[in-house]
Amino acid sequence: MSQRVSLTQYLVEQQREHGLIPAQLRLLIEVVARACKRISISVNKGALGGVLGSADTENVQGEVQKKLDVIANEVLIEANEWGGHLAAMASEEMDTIYVVPNRFPQGEYLLMFDPLDGSSNIDVNVSIGTIFSVMKKPENGCGVEEQDFLQPGSQQVAAGYCVYGPQTTLVLTVGNGVAMFTLDREQGSWVLTQENVQIPADTKEFAINMSNMRHWAPPVKRYIDECLAGKEGARGKDFNMRWIASMVADVHRILTRGGVFMYPWDKREPNKPGKLRLMYEANPMAFLVEQAGGAATNGLQRILDIQPGQLHERVAVVLGSKNEVERVTAYHREDAAL
C-alpha cells in the first residue's frame, strides 16, 4: 500500500462514497481511536508506569480489576463524555450505564466497551485489547436508560477493537467491510494497513480452552474430538490449536489468517449461557467477523440476532471461518433435535 491513508481520510472517504459515517459518528470513532492511543501508552509502560497488578477492587462481574482495567475505563469515559456525540456509555467495568452529564451536550449514539479485554494477560506481557460497539439511541423522545442499550447486535452502526500487541492495531467496521489501521508511533497517527479483510471459509486451526473439555456439551466434544483425530479421522486433515486467552488477540489472528474460536457453554456454571459478554465482546466481534465473510453463533443462533435481556448478560460464542462455524452449529442443532 504505497500512499499512506490516515484514519480520518478513510472515514471521510467512507462518508463521501457510502454515506455511512455521519459527522457525529466520525467524531465518535476518532475519539475512541485517540483514547486507544492513550491506553496503549499506559499498557506499553508496564512496570515502568506502575500500572501492573491488581487495583484491589471488583467489577460487576465479581472479577478483581487490574489497575489497567480501571485506567482504560477512565480514559474512555473522559475522552467521550464532552464531545456531544454520545447519549450514554456502558462498560464491562461499570455496574450501570454512564449517562453523559448535563454540563455536556447529548448526542444520538450509545457506546459500549470492554476497556481492556484479556487483562489476566497484562502482568505476563501477552497481547490484550479494547473492544467497542456503537448503536444509535432509540428515538423515544425521553432521556436515556439501560433499556435503550438492549438492542440486538444487528443494530450496531460501528464496532471495532484495538489490539495492544507487537503492533498496536485498530480494527474497524462501519458496515462496509473491515479495515485495519496500524499505529505509527513516530507520527502518533493511525495508518490504513489493510482493508476489505476476508476470513477464509475453511481452516485447520481452532481456538478453545482445552482444560474445560470434561465440562463441554456433546456437540463441542464431538467437533474437537474430530479435529484431534486429524487426517486419520472424520475430517481427513490435521488441525492446529491456539488459545491466547485474550479474545481480541484470538479474533485478530482469525481475521488475519482464518480459524474458529469457541467459548461454549459448559457445566461449571450451568445457569450461565457462556463466559463472554454479549453486548461488548460477542456482538462487536460478531459484527466484524461477519463483515469479513465469517460467521458467529452461540451454537444454535446467529449472535447478532440475539435480543439482549440485560446489559451484562453472557453468551456462548462460536465464530470465525464460515464453514467451520456452520459445522459446529449443525452439530448443536442435531444434538438439540435428539
Indicate whether 118 belongs to the interface with ligand P6P (CB under 6 A).
yes
Least distance (Å) from ligand P6P to the CB of residue 212? 7
Strands 260-263 and 205-207: parallel
Residue, CB closest to ligand P6P: 247
Would you tell me how many other CB atoms lie within 10 Å of the CB of residue 222? Answer: 17
φ/ψ of residue 243, rounded to 5: -150, 105
The reply to whether 298 sits near ligand P6P by the rule CB under 6 A is no
CA distances from 113 to 124, 190, 223 (A): 23, 20, 31
Could you tell me which of 321, 210, 193, 208 has the C-alpha nearest to residue 257? 321
- The answer to whether the beta carbons of residues 88 and 110 sit under 8 Å apart is yes
> CB under 6 A: which stretch of 160-168, 223-231, 243-251, 291-299 binds ligand P6P?
243-251
Q: What is the DSSP pairing of strand 109-117 with strand 86-91? A: parallel
| Structure-block grid coordinates of residue 5 | 491513508
Question: CB within 8 A of 314, min separation 6: which ones?
Answer: 272, 273, 274, 275, 276, 277, 278
Instruction: Mark the segment that binds ligand P6P (CB under 6 A) among 29-37, 75-83, 117-125, 292-300.
Output: 117-125
Binding span for ligand P6P by CB under 6 A among 22-30, 186-194, 240-248, 307-315: 240-248
Q: Any contact of residue 120 with ligand P6P (CB under 6 A)?
A: yes
**What 3-state class would DSSP assign to 142?**
coil
Binding to ligand P6P (CB under 6 A) within 176-235 occurs at 209
DSSP conformation class of 146: G
Distance CA 54, CA 68 (A): 8
For ligand P6P, which is the closer residue by CB, 119 or 321?
119
Q: Which is nearer to ligand P6P, 93 or 117 (CB)?
A: 117
Q: How far is the CB of 166 from ligand P6P (least distance, A)?
A: 18
Please pick, from the candidates 210, 245, 330, 336, the single residue that binds ligand P6P as defined by CB under 6 A.
245
Does 284 interact with ligand P6P (rule: CB under 6 A)? no
* Contact code string over 44-83 relative to ligand P6P, x by CB under 6 A: ----------------------------------------
3-state class of 179 per DSSP? strand
Q: From the list 87, 134, 247, 304, which residue makes contact with ligand P6P (rule: CB under 6 A)?
A: 247
Cell of 93: 467495568
Least gap, CB of 275 to ligand P6P (angstroms): 6
Q: With the C-alpha atoms ordered 69, 44, 130, 318, is the resulting torsion angle positive or negative? A: negative
Smallest separation, CB 317 to ligand P6P (Å)? 9
- Asked if 241 is part of the footprint of ligand P6P (rule: CB under 6 A), the reply reads no
- If we measure between CA atoms, which residue out of 8, 4, 5 comes closest to residue 27? 8
Q: Does residue 246 interact with ligand P6P by CB under 6 A?
A: yes
Q: Does 117 bind ligand P6P (CB under 6 A)?
A: yes
Residues in touch with ligand P6P (CB under 6 A): 117-118, 120, 209, 245-247, 263, 275-276
